[in-house]
Chains A and B, each alone.
Chain A
Amino acid sequence: MEANNVKVLEKGSKSKTDFRAVSKQFMRKYGIVLVLLGLFILMSILSPAFLKTRNLLNVVRQISVIGLVGLGVTCVIITCGTDLSSGSVIALSAVIAASLAQRAGWEAAKFPELAGKLPVIVPILAGVLVGVLCGFLNGWTIAKFRIAPFIVTLGMMTVARGFALLYSDGRPVSSLTDAYNFIGQGEILGIPFPIIILAVMAVITHIMLSNTKFGRYIYAIGGNEQAAKVSGLNVGKILILVYTFAGFMAGLAGVVLSSRISSGQPGLGQGYELDAIASAVIGGTSFSGGVGTVWGTVVGALIIGILNNGLDLLNVSAYWQQIVKGLIIVVAIIFDERKNR
């Protein structure tokens, strides 16, 4: 009886308010995609060079590194945390991976006796593992000592950068093998390889978040950590895994980036952590936790990429680019707060 009544009520209330509710829901879900489309159309009108395939592929290639980091940091932000260390982890991963991928006969090689002898999987694994280790340490410190993620990852940001400089003596690690360079520069069927990596990782992260126990726990912790504990979740363990995952992505990003520029440099990735966080936030991930999607972050990264690229094409100074980017982030958050009311 009661259930029937409710249905009748629901039908009865379908009236003018319905259209508004539906359009509001549509905006909530796809508003950010509309922004991307708008930006896309605007740039193609303003600059004829923008729409060329080469340029578009370039945009995506440029965002692939930030996109990878963004996937990890999205998970972290959903738990109500943050990761400031990813830019430095990129550098540490880059110099270590590069040092294991140097050409034979290169006299300045870090390990002359190994140069050119290791299969390409070794530097890739090394770079990724460095990221995993840094991420694990972040998560372990946060979970074990209950310190704010902002502080812990701020510390890791400095430490990892220091190690990168130490390891490389402050110099670029260059002259890398062709196999290694393929990761960042190669193409499969005309599609740049980094884009393929990003796409695969995005799909994996999406499935992980929406379709595994671990993923739902990530949302639960961000939604209400106390309630998650009462529901029997091992919050500490899940947090460690989340930060480790973010570290994995940063490590992978370091490999891709060093390969793209054929050099592992200790200064790489500076400010990338902020661009990654910005991508997530523009894409609707909430700093209050519990909310965020992979697609949002990818769209967020694309918006940042198109903005950078478009403003470059329009010869806008790099200084103005920063100002515009900053304003867009804040405006995105204001919109995000409003739609949740």
Chain B
Amino acid sequence: METEYILIMENITKVFPGVVALDNVNFKVRPGTVHALMGENGAGKSTLMKVLIGMYKPDGGTITFKGQQLPEYDTNTALKMGISMIHQELSPIPYMTVAENIFLGREPLKKSGLIDKKKMIADTEKLFEKLEIKIDPKALMKDLTVAQTQMVEIAKAISYDSSLIIMDEPTSAITEKEVEHLFKIVKSLRADGVAIIYITHKMDEVFKISDEITVFRDGKHIATVPADTINKDGLITMMVGRELTQIFPKEEAEIGDVILSVKNLSRAGKFKDVSFELRRGEILGFAGLMGAGRTEVMESIFGMAGHESGEIYINGQKVDIKTPSDAIKHGIAFLTEDRKRTGIMGVLSVRDNITIASLDKFKKGLFLNKKKINETCIEEKDRLAIKTPHMDQLIKFLSGGNQQKVLVSRWLLTTPDILILDEPTRGIDVGAKSEIHRLMSGLAKEGKAIIMISSEMPEILGMSDRVIVMHEGKITGEFPRSEVSQEKIMQCATGNN
């Protein structure tokens, strides 16, 4: 193994409003090696990689590539220098061919200035032959399977002849067979002296393919070790081994009767045989990695998406929920994970955003009782400490935390018995976060039942009376508050239980 490094990232710091995403991080990669990068969601892996490929400008630190310290650069420059990345989220252009997708932005030209399609296709064929990929370069991307699309993305990243390739969870969408294929490609790249940064949550892969392992946690570099000096348990301990100093104020609440019962719920490709019960006064935490199927289960319960089989019971009665409107009538509220896409109505006022789901309450004959609406909004503003200059303020001008409080208030006005909160404190500042936690405690005390999906370990451990862990669409573990630990959750979440 060579001793010199192809990449040295030193003291990298990146701050987002309210969050230190990377805190003085050091990261070094040797040429001709596979370097696994591990950590929980939000540990800072993706942020570091986005800094590396020039997507984010770091707030501090230096990057040295092939012995040269780099000035500020963008993604295009990074590609030219020989750094390419296979992104976790695929972004094919569906109505263009495979070859066109691979050569997007660097199409070979004829002398006349027109695109040399023959050369483009021939080059793609050559590339595929080398990588043993059997896909027609002339096929449209939209006709490919997800696995094929992933292979095209991999080929594309390799086609830049980069000396450093970042692979961000490249196996999340492909089958066993293609994983073997990918590993073969990775090994031959390594033999050619290419350095590979490999991000994954799958323990087996890490030990199969990597030479070195770096673990991140909460925006900090924890350790870098040779892969053959550590085992699975050791790795999990490094990933989760934080001290729980943050205080979460879940107070004791009387746990009552079962209010929601889900039996053998399945949706093809998303989740399978999901069964659980939820009681009044309880906060039920759903832990797992991104893509484990937690959100999808809740979407089916709430009528936003269908389900092929299984039953849902509320207060012992079987219910048939087809639309969110049905769910709301059955006393369910769903604070979605993507505030921008499915939560706020940006150009509408705070008042409208608070009342839109409960306007029936404010009807006076044909019209709306504006006085009552205003009074209620002011009550809500005080109750949740929403910081807004006035109720006519457009919600898009509020901070993330205050937007979230508005949405919580929208749902509380529908007087639900069951609240499903999907990543309720993601991307909001610490103050708003603890206010929302306090509110959740209070609601549980009032006898409401709460499901909380969270990818933050401390939040799960601090707030939940009971924790359910999901992995690849299945429930892999369930722990009462007294028995749960970070290690147990991580083992179930990575499918290693």
Contacts and interface: CB of A to CB of B under 8 A. Distances in A.
Interface string B341-357: 11111111000100111
Interface in A175-219: 207, 211-213, 216-217, 219
Contacts of B414: 232
B346 A220 contact: no
Contacts of B16: none
B341 A226 contact: yes
Given A211-B367, A212-B366, A223 B324 contact: no
B135 interface: no
B387 A6 contact: yes
A294 to B, nearest CB: 16
Nearest to A340: B347
Chain B interface residue bracket vs A: 20 to 34
Nearest to A10: B389
Interface centre among B328, B346, B356, B410 (most CB of A within 10 A): B356
Contacts of B346: 223-224, 290
Contacts of A8: none
The interface residues of chain A, by DSSP majority, are classed as helix
Contacts of B352: 216, 219-220, 223
A216 B382 contact: no
A216 B354 CA distance: 12
Contacts of A216: 352, 355-356, 359, 368
B300 to A, nearest CB: 14
A230 B324 contact: yes
A143 interface: no
B438 to A, nearest CB: 12
Nearest to B389: A10
A291 interface: yes
A3 interface: yes
A233 interface: yes
Interface in B221-236: none
B382 A3 contact: yes
A228 B356 contact: yes
A233 B325 contact: yes
Contacts of B345: 219-220, 223-224, 227-228, 290
Contacts of A231: 324, 356-357, 410
Nearest to B355: A216
B360 interface: yes
A3, A220, A227 interface centre (most CB from chain B within 10 Å): A227
A73 to B, nearest CB: 19
Contacts of A290: 345-348
A234 interface: yes
A22 to B, nearest CB: 12
Contacts of A222: 347
Contacts of B360: 213
A107 interface: no
A263 to B, nearest CB: 38
B104 interface: no
A235 B324 CA distance: 11
Contacts of B324: 229-232
B453 to A, nearest CB: 15
A291 B343 contact: no
A285 B102 CA distance: 41
A2 interface: yes
B207 to A, nearest CB: 41
A268 B337 CA distance: 51
B110 interface: no
Q: Which among A231, A233, A286 has the greatest number of chain B C-beta atoms within 10 A?
A: A231
A150 B347 CA distance: 23
B13 to A, nearest CB: 29
Given A216-B368, A220-B356, A226 B325 contact: no
A228 to B, nearest CB: 7
A10 B344 CA distance: 25
B304 interface: yes
Contact of B342 (A217, A220, A226, A232): A226
B344 A224 contact: yes
Interface in A20-69: none
A291 B347 contact: yes
A196 B211 CA distance: 82
A221 B410 CA distance: 16
B368 A213 contact: yes
A232 B325 contact: yes
Contacts of A224: 341-346
A6 B386 CA distance: 10
A230 B333 CA distance: 9
A223 B359 contact: no
B336 interface: yes
A213 B369 CA distance: 10
Given A231-B324, A233-B325, A220 B368 contact: no
A226 B344 CA distance: 10
- Identify the 10 closest CB pairs spanning chains A and B, nearest first: A223-B345, A231-B357, A290-B347, A232-B325, A232-B328, A224-B345, A223-B348, A213-B359, A226-B342, A232-B324
Given A212-B366, A230-B343, 16 more contacts: A211-B367, A211-B370, A213-B363, A213-B368, A216-B352, A224-B346, A226-B342, A230-B304, A230-B324, A230-B342, A231-B356, A232-B325, A233-B325, A234-B323, A289-B347, A291-B347
28 contacts: A2-B385, A207-B367, A211-B367, A211-B370, A212-B366, A216-B352, A217-B359, A220-B348, A220-B356, A223-B347, A223-B352, A224-B343, A226-B341, A227-B345, A228-B356, A229-B304, A230-B302, A230-B324, A230-B334, A230-B336, A230-B343, A232-B325, A233-B356, A234-B323, A286-B347, A288-B347, A289-B347, A290-B348
